[in-house]
Amino acid sequence: MKLKATLAALCAVASFSAFAQAPIVIKFSHVVATDTPKGQAAERFKQLAEKATNGRVKVELYPNSQLYKDKEELEALQLGAVQMLAPSLAKFGPLGVKEFEAFDLPYIFPSKTALYNVTEGPIGKGLLKKLESKGITGLAYWDNGFKVMSANKPLRTTADFKGLKMRIQSSKVLDAQMRTLGANPQVLAFSEVYQALQTGVVDGTENPPSNMYTQKMHEVQKHVTVSNHGYLGYAVIVNKKFWDGLPADIRTALETAMRDATTFEKAIAQRDNDLAMEAIKKAGKTEIYNLSAKEQAEWRKALLPVQKDMEGRIGKDLIQAINKEAAK
């Protein structure tokens, strides 16, 4: 009897120490290349998190849609098949949090400073809170940049978009934006864009230069217009149940790692986009066009009504609050 009890106690200790030694695994899935602002920041987070927790946490990165595509990754997060993602703010609509689509409104952020006023202030925090009811905790906003437009024909005036099939993310604001330009928007997963452009399934698209270059879209797009008409950023999110279940000291260490990775991400986003634009130019396959101030004003005038049209979906108060913050 005594032997049995001793054995049972030994087994308990052994399994406890095996359990204690097994690292907590964070599967972090994303859709872009490693050498993008998001890809590099994910790597930085992994390094910082593993160091700060002395290896008690292991972060496994799955870039470039290798594990899941846009829609699937959000489902996988809710099911707990992955623990961390950083989807673009244009992809939260299907989850039922359509307010994030405010970030897609054309010309809503006149500068990165205006954007940070929103993401780092009460509006940004309030939006992340809305994810809680979906079983998701929002940890940070990561930046990419302002978007360019591309196609196989020059896009100088808004009339040039008429009839073009343009790939968009799942956001209804982006749908409205393209329709306002007279184009036919088509939602496609990010991983499908290169092939869709190559085979003519769509004629053009929009993205910051870092995404365009790292997916080689410039090889299948003859024209790029530097329009900066809209913004692309991310929310770093985790499965709430997983996050809440972490030991408190681990969670604190991970929060610090995320803060530092976020500072790093913001510092490299613009530079990466500038370098990508240079690389696209250098590759020589795409003609780059910079809108003149007059053309920019015309694009703005054509696209500003999208803000009003989307009030019903996003909320007039939220749009007004963002505009007020952006104007500071």
Smaller CB separation from ligand LMR, 144 or 225: 144
Is 211 a residue that touches ligand LMR (CB under 6 A)?
Answer: yes
Contact status, residue 218 vs residue 280, Cβ threshold 8 Å:
yes
- Amino acid of residue 212: M
Q: How far is the CB of 203 from ligand LMR (least distance, A)?
A: 16
Is 150 a residue that touches ligand LMR (CB under 6 A)?
Answer: no
Is 117 a residue that touches ligand LMR (CB under 6 A)?
Answer: no
Is 40 a residue that touches ligand LMR (CB under 6 A)?
Answer: no
Q: How far is the CB of 283 from ligand LMR (least distance, A)?
A: 20
Six token digits for residue 78: 């809710």
DSSP 118: H
State the number of CA atoms in the 13 A half-sphere of 83 facing the CB.
16
Residue 240: other Cβ atoms inside 10 A = 18
The residue from 32, 224, 280, 322 that contacts ligand LMR (CB under 6 A) is: 32
Residue 32: other Cβ atoms inside 10 A = 24
How many angstroms separate the CA atoms of 49 and 264, rounded?
A: 14
Q: How far is the CB of 61 from ligand LMR (least distance, A)?
A: 14
The residue from 29, 83, 117, 207 that contacts ligand LMR (CB under 6 A) is: 207
The residue from 45, 103, 107, 190 that contacts ligand LMR (CB under 6 A) is: 190
Is 169 a residue that touches ligand LMR (CB under 6 A)?
Answer: yes
State the number of CA atoms in the 13 A half-sphere of 208 facing the CB.
24
Measured between alpha carbons, how far is residue 281 from residues 213, 215, 284 in Å? Answer: 10, 15, 6
Is 95 a residue that touches ligand LMR (CB under 6 A)?
Answer: no
Is 88 a residue that touches ligand LMR (CB under 6 A)?
Answer: yes
Binding site for ligand LMR (CB under 6 A): 31-32, 88, 144, 169, 190, 207, 211, 232
